[in-house]
Amino acid sequence: MNPVIELLNSHRSIRKFTEQKIPRELFREIIRAGQSAATSSHVQAYSVIHVVNPENRKKIAELAGGQNYIAECSDFLVFCADMKRPTEAAQRAGAEVVHGMTEQLVIASVDTALMAQNVAIAAESEGLGLCYIGGIRNNPAEISEILRLPEHVYPVFGMCLGYPDQDPEVKPRLPPEAILKEDYYQDEQDEAQVAGFDETMKKYYLERTGGNKDTNWSEQLKPLFTSKLRPHMKDFLEEKGFKMR
């Protein structure tokens, strides 16, 4: 297998880091590699806040649901979808900008995620570990205040970066056959594929926990879909100027 694919297939989230700091030159290189991701119409609709202030890192760790690795990792980043910079640039160039289209929310969120995933891969290629932090959307308004995010900028997720102090197993994924569909959407095999994957995950959890965690993929999904997930997000996004229209 080629080394890039091997690297991609060896990804696992890291939630425990050594005290070793990432050299600044390497840190900058990783961010630059992130920027090389494809970007919709070259709009580069993202900003990354590197949270250096230790007090703010502690506050964010709490606001994200008590995820202490946010305060403990070498570097903590908040990836923000940013429609402010590109719309202001167009405005200065003479455009009468239309704000708040749903498509702008999609473009900025996708751009941000692609950039972040490039950062993740660049980091892993240098032996670093990372964990995405969607938990920052538990309290996006408070976090936006700490980071002084203006209108047309919203925090999509965070990322902890550092040198791994744990070596977790790679988490299985659905087989490619389950997600790759030829010519059109076919779901005849879905139930069987999911049942097979539930078995895979059940084994994974049992082995990883010495028999203590007896669950599977479908069971793990239940709480995600039986509660209203972060219901504050609609109003929060609208307040930030990302509307649904």
The site for ligand FMN (CB under 6 A) is made up of 11-13, 15, 67, 131-135, 157, 171
Write down the residue that tokens 């703010």 correspond to: 56
Comparing CA positions, the residue from 245, 240, 243 lying closest to residue 82 is: 240
Closest to ligand FMN by CB, 87 vs 105, is 105
Closest to ligand FMN by CB, 23 vs 134, is 134
Give the bridge partners for 129, in sequence order. 162
- Least separation in angstroms between residue 168's CB and ligand FMN is 7
Q: Residue 133 is inside which H or E element, if any?
A: strand 129-133
- Least separation in angstroms between residue 15's CB and ligand FMN is 6
- Least separation in angstroms between residue 12's CB and ligand FMN is 4
| Interatomic CA distance for residues 38 and 21, integer angstroms | 29
Residues 147/155, Cβ–Cβ less than 8 Å: yes
- Least separation in angstroms between residue 19's CB and ligand FMN is 20
Residues 144/57, Cβ–Cβ less than 8 Å: no
Closest to ligand FMN by CB, 6 vs 25, is 6
Closest to ligand FMN by CB, 40 vs 138, is 138
Closest to ligand FMN by CB, 100 vs 140, is 140
Residues 123/48, Cβ–Cβ less than 8 Å: no
Select the residue whose beta carbon is closest to ligand FMN and give its number.
134
- Least separation in angstroms between residue 136's CB and ligand FMN is 7
| Interatomic CA distance for residues 48 and 88, integer angstroms | 18
